[in-house]
Chains A and B, each alone.
Chain A
């Protein structure tokens, strides 16, 4: 397994946000974490990126225990995240935001910038604009593009569909698939379960800090209890 989250528990003060979550991501996969608000999806991703400390359990990347590696050092090891709410630097230009993605890298990154621009042509048009002036969809593209600039082994995406119009969501998900087909492993957190399950090879269902189901995306998509809980009952697919 490329990324292993092994039975981790995370606390906010005395309140347990994660109570022994185990998730594994294999190389080349798209894995989705779905669940309701407060289930612990974002906390899981923040813990993987080292923004939250672990009370119990371990995080391993390519077999190496990184549980106690500080967050900023995990980028060089191959983890980069497009966080919830996008986390764009509002006062930096689009290009400067992208260069923040390659902050830890040495040498010329212009080929990577071009690659991001070819995935998201809109960003190229707006490269000199301040990040804060972009629309929500453009900011999400920038957040994903910026994370790609780090050349991650595992790309972590936290709610890329949040607050976006259905058409833009469709576009973003197609690009995630394209990125994956180019060889980037993706761990995706989504409330938009239908889209996420259709895209993901495998998925985990989180409820109040625990994994309650895990199966292939297709299996969960057709599971009556999952449909009832996360897909708004009977929707046709």
Chain B
């Protein structure tokens, strides 16, 4: 317990940092669920694609060391844009290939779920492929390291916890993006169309809403959020891997369920909560218990409060 007290502030800072990445990824689960009542289990791979796009973009700059000044801003901006574009586009393609036909033919939810898992495994294995000696090998299973973009420096401290610039960047970027998304969904015509479709898709059609377009938009936004999460992940950890999305994706899904799946603000709350709880738990029992803690939360939420903390807002009450 004394560790918990000693490490409280540093656990809080780490928890909020990783939690904001969970929250960004959780938005994709929650948006798609809100509109289609479908858990897009391939969303974790959409995040993974974002990390690879970010690593690739950073390598294009051929940095000799951490950047600074305007170069830094440019590299960060391009990395985020590339991650968002790659993930957003992949999510749209995923919807077209893996879900649309099932949806328009009215197949069961189980079929869509199986399709999601299939797409997830397919994408993982594709990103494990490497080209060498004129042949494809499934050998890309190690971490791919990225050049360090940001010289990690200590900015200030809260209690015993030290706030580093990369952690602050991750947190601030994620929160800003979520404010933008919240405004989009709640204040614009297209956002209203998304909410209306989530609440009553047949009525939405009667009002002239093109459901397919709303679905594509939903996947695009959710994908772009995961792509930004991917870019921030790479800036924070300087690496990725073909299977990087797997555990992180399930944690983000847990965050979405915890906050109330279908609820955008719930995704933020759930993500930050999961990040904090797993870091507090790690300070008490050790870092190897992080995953156990998160998935215990998932089980407990599903047992005792399956609608999550805030309930489902996109679909039912006011978002």
Knowing A72-B208, A75-B208, A103-B209 touch, does A91 contact B315 (C-beta < 8 A)?
Answer: yes
> For B206, what are the chain A residues with a Cβ–Cβ distance below 8 Å?
49, 51, 71, 75, 80-81, 83, 87, 147
A90 contacts the other chain (Cβ, under 8 Å)?
yes
On whether the beta carbons of A76 and B208 are closer than 8 Å, the reply is yes
> For B205, what are the chain A residues with a Cβ–Cβ distance below 8 Å?
49-51, 71-72
- The chain B residues found within 8 Å of chain A, CB to CB, are 189, 192-193, 195-196, 199-200, 202-211, 313-319
Knowing A99-B192, A103-B189 touch, does A92 contact B208 (C-beta < 8 A)?
Answer: no
A112 contacts the other chain (Cβ, under 8 Å)?
no
On whether the beta carbons of B207 and A150 are closer than 8 Å, the reply is yes
Most A Cβ at <10 Å: residue of B195, B206, B207, B315: B206
Knowing A72-B205, A83-B203, A103-B193 touch, does A90 contact B210 (C-beta < 8 A)?
Answer: no
> For B314, what are the chain A residues with a Cβ–Cβ distance below 8 Å?
91
What is the CA–CA distance of A72 and B193 in the complex, to the nearest angstrom? 12
Chain A residue nearest to B315 in the complex (CB): A91
On whether the beta carbons of A130 and B317 are closer than 8 Å, the reply is yes
A11 contacts the other chain (Cβ, under 8 Å)?
no
What is the CA–CA distance of A96 and B318 in the complex, to the nearest angstrom? 11
On whether the beta carbons of A89 and B199 are closer than 8 Å, the reply is yes
Chain B residue nearest to A143 in the complex (CB): B203
Binding site secondary structure of chain A:
mixed
On whether the beta carbons of A91 and B318 are closer than 8 Å, the reply is yes
On whether the beta carbons of A83 and B189 are closer than 8 Å, the reply is no
On whether the beta carbons of A72 and B192 are closer than 8 Å, the reply is no
A210 contacts the other chain (Cβ, under 8 Å)?
no
Question: Could you say which interface size class chain A belongs to?
Answer: 20 to 34
> For B208, what are the chain A residues with a Cβ–Cβ distance below 8 Å?
72-76, 103-104, 150
- The chain A residues found within 8 Å of chain B, CB to CB, are 49-51, 70-76, 80-81, 83, 87-93, 96, 99-101, 103-104, 130, 132, 146-147, 150
Knowing A51-B205, A71-B206, A72-B210 touch, does A100 contact B196 (C-beta < 8 A)?
Answer: yes
10 cross-chain CB contacts under 8 A: A71-B205, A89-B199, A91-B199, A92-B196, A99-B189, A103-B189, A103-B209, A130-B318, A132-B317, A146-B207
On whether the beta carbons of B207 and A91 are closer than 8 Å, the reply is no
Knowing A51-B202, A103-B193 touch, does A90 contact B209 (C-beta < 8 A)?
Answer: no
13 more A-B contacts (CB under 8 A) besides A89-B203, A91-B317, A92-B196? A50-B205, A75-B207, A81-B206, A83-B202, A88-B200, A89-B195, A90-B316, A93-B318, A96-B192, A99-B189, A100-B193, A100-B204, A103-B193
On whether the beta carbons of A91 and B313 are closer than 8 Å, the reply is yes
On whether the beta carbons of B317 and A90 are closer than 8 Å, the reply is yes
CB within 8 A of B199: which of A80, A90, A104? A90
> For A93, what are the chain B residues with a Cβ–Cβ distance below 8 Å?
318
On whether the beta carbons of A89 and B316 are closer than 8 Å, the reply is no
Chain A residue nearest to B213 in the complex (CB): A72
What is the CA–CA distance of A73 and B317 in the complex, to the nearest angstrom? 28
Most B Cβ at <10 Å: residue of A75, A91, A92: A91
Chain B residue nearest to A131 in the complex (CB): B199
> For B313, what are the chain A residues with a Cβ–Cβ distance below 8 Å?
91
> For A88, what are the chain B residues with a Cβ–Cβ distance below 8 Å?
200, 203
> For B211, what are the chain A residues with a Cβ–Cβ distance below 8 Å?
72
What is the CA–CA distance of A150 and B211 in the complex, to the nearest angstrom? 18
Q: Which 6 A-B pairs have the closest CB atoms?
A: A75-B208, A87-B203, A104-B208, A89-B199, A71-B205, A100-B207
